[in-house]
Amino acid sequence: MQKKHYELVILGGGPAGLSAGLYAARARLDHVLIEKGATGGQVLLTDWVDNYPGFPEGISGFDLVDKMTAHAKRFDLNTLMTQVSRVDFSDPKYKRLILDDGSEMSCDALIICTGASANTLNVPGEHDLRGKGVSYCGTCDAPFYRNMHVAVIGGGNTAIQEAEYLTKFASRVTVIHRRDELRATKILQEIAFANSKIDFIWNSRVTSIEGKNGVEGVNLIDTSGKTSTLAVEGVFVLIGVTPNNEALPLDLLQADKWGFIPTDLETRTSIPGVMAAGDIRSKAVRQIVNAVGEGATAVLAAEAYLQSLK
Ligand SMILES: Cc1cc2nc3c(=O)[nH]c(=O)nc-3n(C[C@H](O)[C@H](O)[C@H](O)COP(=O)(O)OP(=O)(O)OC[C@H]3O[C@@H](n4cnc5c(N)ncnc54)[C@H](O)[C@@H]3O)c2cc1C
């Protein structure tokens, strides 16, 4: 039976939330972690995690989540599986959460760990080949594409930075962009244009991704309507991420222009007693390892805030 008021609510059960949950439970805070789906967040979409410390052979996303959840449960992590539809800070000392079924809950301190979602192309083949050659994170998956020809879809900073990073592994990287110039900053463009392993297909978009057990190619259409096929063994879809912020009062949290939440180094937002950790934060790097670190930092900030109320 859940209570109506907690000292601390952790909103979201991805890596940031699970790490916050571990620290909160271990510190014996009066807490609950609220998750609308299954704990694990985006890691559940990750076939194989090769860059999380402590697992020298790598680990499947599912097993990593399982271990993180079991670790927090060992200290009696309290979880509630439901969706928060709205967070209300009209009384900033007494944070209200309105749940999907219309019921309410409140807390003194709140850690927002609602994460983000990678934007998808929504073309045939993309869903079925996810994790089998279709990736949304170059930093995460580049080493799996050693000596292969891969395509990068996108033209912003992330796409071009990741294309550059991919050339450390892939034999050739083809950037496919729907415009005739990149949105990435000039310095990134210069580096990419000077890299002999990177080539570009302009004014084109992907209409489908082909392959049976792995990616074999992408079908393209250009702005004149001409179609073509490019044979590649991997496709990196790097067309941005969308913050999971539907339930949050973005104005009060002073969200950035993309809807991410700015914080200080201790993960404190503009509202006293409200912290944000993981991919929902306004930041450059979105990885499991820093989501986990921020979750822990957020609990320490929450403890300091709760102490200040006494
Ligand atoms: C395909 C893919 C592969 C990746 N591979 C790697 C990798 O190999 N290595 C790596 O370091 N990083 C990888 N990443 C990035 C990594 O998964 C994220 O950085 C990390 O999961 C962020 O953790 P988080 O807890 O901040 O958010 P998330 O993982 O996004 O979790 C947020 C959680 O909050 C819940 N939630 C959101 N809103 C609500 C609400 N209103 N009510 C209740 N619950 C809510 C969601 O259901 C979700 O479970 C990958 C990402 C993707 C998409």
Q: Residues 156-200: pLDDT tens digits?
A: 998 999 999 999 999 999 999 999 999 999 999 999 999 999 999
39 and 140 in a common domain: no
190 and 105 in a common domain: no
Question: Which of 217, 237, 257 finishes a domain?
Answer: 237
69 and 22 in a common domain: yes
278 and 130 in a common domain: no
113 and 55 in a common domain: yes
Mutate to test the pocket of ligand 1, among 2, 18, 46 (most ligand atoms within 8 A of CB): 46
Tell me the pLDDT tens digit for each residue of 29-65: 999 999 999 999 999 988 889 999 999 999 999 999 9
Dihedral of the alpha carbons of 298, 302, 308, 310, in degrees to the nearest 10: -160
What is the number of alpha carbons within 13 Å of residue 45 lying toward its C-beta?
A: 17
Tracing tokens 């993981």 back to the chain, one arrives at: 278
Q: Are 250 and 259 in contact (CB under 8 A)?
A: yes
177 and 254 in a common domain: no
Gap from CA of 85 to ligand 1 centroid (Å): 18
pLDDT of residue 92: 77
pLDDT of residue 64: 98
113 and 9 in a common domain: yes
Domain that holds residue 262: 5-117+241-309
298 and 258 in a common domain: yes
Gap from CA of 68 to ligand 1 centroid (Å): 13
pLDDT of residue 93: 80
Q: Which residues are catalytic?
A: 137, 140-141
How far is CA 47 from its chain centroid? 15
Sequence letter at residue 286 = R
Contacts of 202 (CB under 8 A, 6+ apart): 177, 179, 180
The low-confidence residues of the chain, meaning pLDDT below 50, are none
106 and 53 in a common domain: yes
Gap from CA of 285 to ligand 1 centroid (Å): 13
Tracing tokens 């309507």 back to the chain, one arrives at: 225
pLDDT of residue 47: 84
CATH number at residue 212: 3.50.50.60
Contacts of 51 (CB under 8 A, 6+ apart): 139, 140, 287, 288, 289
Buried b (16+ CB within 10 A) or exposed e, 9-41: bbbbbbbbbbbbbbbbbeeebebbbbbbeebbb
Q: Which two tokens stand for residue 231?
A: 């044979």
pLDDT of residue 60: 94
Q: How many structural domains does the chain have? A: 2
Tracing tokens 């930075």 back to the chain, one arrives at: 161
